[in-house]
Amino acid sequence: MVTFNLFISLFIGVAFAQQQSICDSECQKSCDTECQNAIESTYQAESRLWVSDIVSDDFYSTPANISTAKPGDILRWETVPFKQLTQNWTIPAGLSLYRFMYATEDINNKTIPATGWVLLPYHHTLPTPNEPGKLRTVVWTHGTAGRSRLCSTTNNKGLYYDWKAPFILAESGYAVIAPDYAGQGSDIPQGFMYESGFLHVADVAYAVIASRKVLGPLLSNKWAVFGHSEGGMTAWRTVERLSLSGQERLLKAGQFIGGVAAAPALRPQRLIPLSWEQTKTGGGPFRSTFFNLLLASSPRAD
């Protein structure tokens, strides 16, 4: 079921990005009526979780200052008003939410935009050794959510994982910073690079750097990363990349102390076909779509 929902999320994102129906004529060749009904019902359930029409939401448009921005700069910052939190989101009482667009970089070190959010508790409930008054800071990296703007976690009423991660972390006293990953919630030339862990690491570190420019007095210098699935892979790659030489720009995020990788999708090229084999599904109508996404997302230098 998890694998099926993963494919649906990717499929919906691609359909909207290409302005196609949810299941076009090519999809219908290997997707019978029951399959099409499942896709449609999943889309209906998914769309009810969207905060707004993200296509026309000015928050997600690329601002002119991207041309002069450097990775880690804030391009746009929004404190979500309490009234909107209660009407448009399902954020628990006692938490505050911020959305922001910031500058990150691609594999060629070119500056590109990304979006993210920060969730803060109103009260300090966890001690922060040697940093009194600061909130322990953790970056949450989400699992597969899709491929287009519509799938960004900043536009999800429950931030996509709700009580399964971000809400419980913030309620426990942590400052939670979460990138959408470049290309989700932002427009970049190459499009969203799915499962490109090395690149997602830049989104993670620069999200912390950008957040400090507004919330610095509240955030601990020490920070960690925690993620699930694609986000688990991102957490794993963060630990790997920040241990390499030549990462001084990313290390400006603060004192990185480690990561937790839950069910990390480290080898998607092997993981997904294996799941099809074990479930005897063969990938169905999603097979070619999924591998095209992986191929398009393979990071490569110009």
Q: Which of 113, 119, 194 is nearest to 154 (CA)?
A: 119
Q: What is the pTM of this model?
A: 0.84
pLDDT band per the 50, 70, 90 thresholds, residue 21: low
Reported as a single tens digit per residue, the pLDDT across 183-193 is 988 989 888 88
What is the mean predicted confidence (pLDDT) over 70-87? 94
Residues of the chain above pLDDT 70, percent? 81
Q: Yes or no: say if 104 and 69 are a contact pair by the CB < 8 Å rule.
A: no
Strand partners, 102: 74, 114
- Give the integer Cα–Cα distance in Å for 116 and 98: 8
Is the per-residue pLDDT at 95 higher than 70? yes
Burial class (CB in 10 A: 0-12, 13-18, 19+), 47: exposed
Burial class (CB in 10 A: 0-12, 13-18, 19+), 68: exposed
pLDDT of residue 178: 99
Residue spans of the domains in the chain: they are 1-48+267-302, 51-266
Q: Which two tokens stand for residue 240?
A: 């790997």
pLDDT of residue 287: 54
Is the per-residue pLDDT at 16 higher than 70? no
pLDDT of residue 281: 60
pLDDT of residue 29: 76
DSSP letter string, 77-97: EEEPPHHHHHHT--PPTTEEE
Instruction: Give me the amino acid identity at 284.
Output: G
Is the per-residue pLDDT at 302 higher than 50? no
Q: Yes or no: say if 190 and 112 are a contact pair by the CB < 8 Å rule.
A: no
Superfamily of domain 51-266: Alpha/Beta hydrolase fold, catalytic domain (3.40.50.1820)
pLDDT of residue 2: 44
Strand partners, 100: 77, 116
Reported as a single tens digit per residue, the pLDDT across 194-241 is 878 899 999 999 999 999 999 999 999 999 999 999 999 999 999 999
Q: Which two tokens stand for residue 173?
A: 């006293």
Reported as a single tens digit per residue, the pLDDT across 97-150 is 999 999 999 989 999 999 999 999 998 889 898 999 999 999 999 998 877 777
What is the mean predicted confidence (pLDDT) over 170-180? 97
3-state DSSP percent of the chain in helix, strand and coil, to 5: 40, 20, 40
Higher pLDDT, 51 or 117: 117
Mean pLDDT score across all residues of the chain:
85
- Give the integer Cα–Cα distance in Å for 219 and 211: 9
Question: Any idea which of 151-160, 250-259, 260-269, 283-292 has the lowest mean pLDDT?
Answer: 283-292
